[in-house]
């Protein structure tokens, strides 16, 4: 979304070259954005971080670079070094969630503290950056995340995704089945996602909602533990781990679901909640971290105490049994997405930040905006 917003950046006073340097992705990963974003030039380094760093430094030394946007705190020391070499350079660091919720190494702390601005996705993350890493509150700008599904088109051009979902739903007994959906990574390092809590709550839910089925999209190293938990609780026939899927298939799962659920304790924002809102699905989430900034309790969904199986089971049951409540909350979520988290709103906030940092309008020579990022999904 940042790349898309940078591509659309226009100002009568700004004649800019915009380069995107991506550390971790492969060359093939940049083919689509290179074709889609004609105002940007892309360089990818396939995980060669030393080559990435050398290229960023060379770019700043070879030509005038006025603003450097750094997409991950791990690369923030680059900004500090380059500011020493080019004192006129301004740099900002994007911060998202768990990566800055604890005390960073001394070098990264210094780099954050010396940044001209820090761009945080939520008030919660902003507060943690101030608390643990000593960044001045006034230099942190809030630019909430957005999502890229601007058109409600679920087809991939072949109909394969729709047929795949139809086959699954037929097997599950849809339209009679009530479908819960989670979308997340299933990594052992991310147990905080709360999928195990949902599985633990299912026996209580099934007693009152006999047709409930639980779909989990995502993969990772913790899959077997979740499979075993479902088997131990006797709900393996109700829990369906669907692995990683393409976007067309994912969108079909959102469309088919009755309730979206992710009771996570580690979200710096939670783009999946926006994806659910796009399809007017009520959301069940944990009242934790930045989630309440996205999901409004008793309006767009229900928030429960993290890890509280009883509260979670009650929330699931109440939404499963009340269609009108699901529809009301789903529509409220869709309105909230459009009003608070649209791409246009994100783009406007980012553009205002960039132009402010470049001190526009002023008499300007040609300006160059360079962006160093850790991955292509920012």
Count CA atoms within 13 Å of residue 28 on its CB side: 0
pLDDT at position 148:
82
Write out pLDDT tens, residues 231-248.
999 999 999 999 999 999
47-51, 79-83, 141-145, 283-287: least confidently modelled range: 47-51
Stronger pLDDT, 209 or 368, i.e. the higher one: 209
Cβ partners under 8 Å of residue 161, min gap 6: 154, 155, 246, 248, 249, 251, 252
Q: What's the Cα-to-Cα distance from 331 to each of 2, 16, 278, rounded to whole Å?
A: 27, 40, 9
Q: What's the rounded mean pLDDT across residues 26-55?
A: 75
Residue 226: CB partners within 8 Å, gap ≥ 6? 186, 195, 196, 199, 216, 239, 241
The answer, yes or no, to whether residue 210 has pLDDT greater than 80, is yes
- Alpha-carbon distance of 194 to 260, in angstroms, equals 13
Neighbouring residues of 81: CB distance < 8 A, sequence distance ≥ 6: 57
Note if the bond before 113 is cis, omega within 30 degrees. Answer: no
- d(CA 267, CA 97) in angstroms, rounded, equals 6
Write down the pLDDT at residue 49.
86
Q: Is 40 within 8 Å of 33 (Cβ atoms)? A: yes
Mean pLDDT of all residues in 30-55: 77
Residue whose token pair is 């750094």: 70
As a whole number of angstroms, the distance between CA 211 and CA 229 comes to 20
What percentage of residues in the chain have a pLDDT greater than 90? 66
Per the CB < 8 A criterion, the answer to whether 298 and 315 are in contact is: no
Higher pLDDT, 337 or 7: 337
Q: What is the pLDDT of residues 297-347, one digit of tens each?
A: 999 999 999 999 999 999 999 999 999 999 999 999 999 999 999 999 999
3-state helix, strand, coil in the chain (%, to 5): 50, 20, 35
pLDDT-based confidence at 14, cuts 50/70/90? low
Distance from first CA to last CA of the chain, Å, rounded?
A: 6
CA 123 to chain centre: 15
CB 223 within 8 A of CB 193: no
Sign of CA dihedral 55, 61, 64, 69: positive
Return the pLDDT at 13.
58
CA–CA gap between residue 183 and residue 279 (Å, rounded)? 14
- pLDDT bracket for residue 62 (50, 70, 90): confident
367-373/212-217 β-pairing: unpaired
Residue 306 corresponds to which tokens in the numbers above? 């993290």
Computed over every residue of the chain, the mean pLDDT equals 88
Which two structure tokens, joined as six digits, stand for 292? 């309440």
Helix H segments across the chain?
Answer: 2-8, 31-36, 49-62, 76-85, 106-114, 123-133, 160-172, 195-208, 223-232, 247-256, 271-278, 309-321, 323-340, 343-357
**How many Cα atoms within 13 Å fall on the side-chain side of residue 92?**
24
**Nearest CA to 6 among 80, 81, 71?**
71
pLDDT of residue 149: 83
Give the chain's domains with CATH numbers: 2-146+342-373 (3.40.50.2000), 160-340 (3.40.50.2000)
């Amino acid at each position: 979304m940042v790349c898309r917003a940078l591509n659309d950046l226009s100002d009568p006073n700004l004649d800019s070259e915009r380069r995107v340097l991506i550390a971790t992705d492969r060359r093939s990963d940049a083919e689509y954005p290179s074709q889609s974003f004609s105002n940007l030039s892309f360089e990818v380094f396939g995980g060669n971080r030393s080559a990435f760093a050398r290229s960023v430094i060379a770019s700043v030394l070879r030509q005038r670079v006025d603003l450097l946007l750094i997409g991950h705190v791990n690369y923030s020391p680059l900004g500090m070094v380059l500011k020493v070499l080019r004192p006129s350079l301004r740099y900002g660091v994007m911060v998202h969630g768990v990566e800055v919720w604890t005390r960073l190494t001394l070098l990264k702390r210094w780099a954050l503290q010396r940044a001209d601005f820090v761009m945080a996705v939520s008030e919660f993350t902003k507060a943690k950056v101030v608390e643990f890493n000593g960044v001045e509150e006034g230099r942190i700008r809030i630019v909430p995340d957005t999502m890229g599904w601007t058109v409600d088109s679920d087809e991939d051009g072949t109909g394969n995704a729709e047929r795949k979902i139809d086959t699954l739903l037929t097997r599950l007994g849809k339209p009679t089945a009530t479908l819960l959906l989670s979308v997340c990574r299933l990594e052992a390092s991310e147990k905080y996602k709360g999928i195990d809590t949902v599985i633990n709550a299912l026996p209580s839910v099934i007693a009152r909602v006999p047709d409930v089925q639980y779909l989990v999209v995502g993969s990772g190293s913790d899959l077997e533990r979740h499979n075993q938990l479902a088997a131990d609780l006797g709900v393996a026939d109700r829990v369906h781990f669907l692995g990683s899927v393409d976007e067309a298939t994912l969108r079909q799962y959102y469309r088919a679901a009755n309730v979206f659920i992710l009771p996570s304790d580690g979200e710096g924002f939670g783009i999946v909640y926006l994806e659910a809102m796009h399809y007017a699905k009520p959301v069940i989430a944990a009242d934790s971290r930045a989630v309440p900034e996205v999901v409004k309790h008793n309006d767009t969904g229900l928030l429960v105490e993290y890890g509280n199986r009883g509260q979670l089971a009650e929330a699931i049951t109440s939404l499963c049994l009340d269609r009108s409540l699901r529809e009301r909350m789903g529509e409220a979520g869709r309105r909230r997405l459009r009003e608070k988290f649209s791409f246009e709103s994100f783009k406007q906030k980012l553009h205002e930040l960039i132009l402010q940092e470049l001190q526009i309008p002023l008499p300007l020579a040609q300006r160059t905006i360079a962006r160093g990022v850790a991955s292509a999904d920012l």
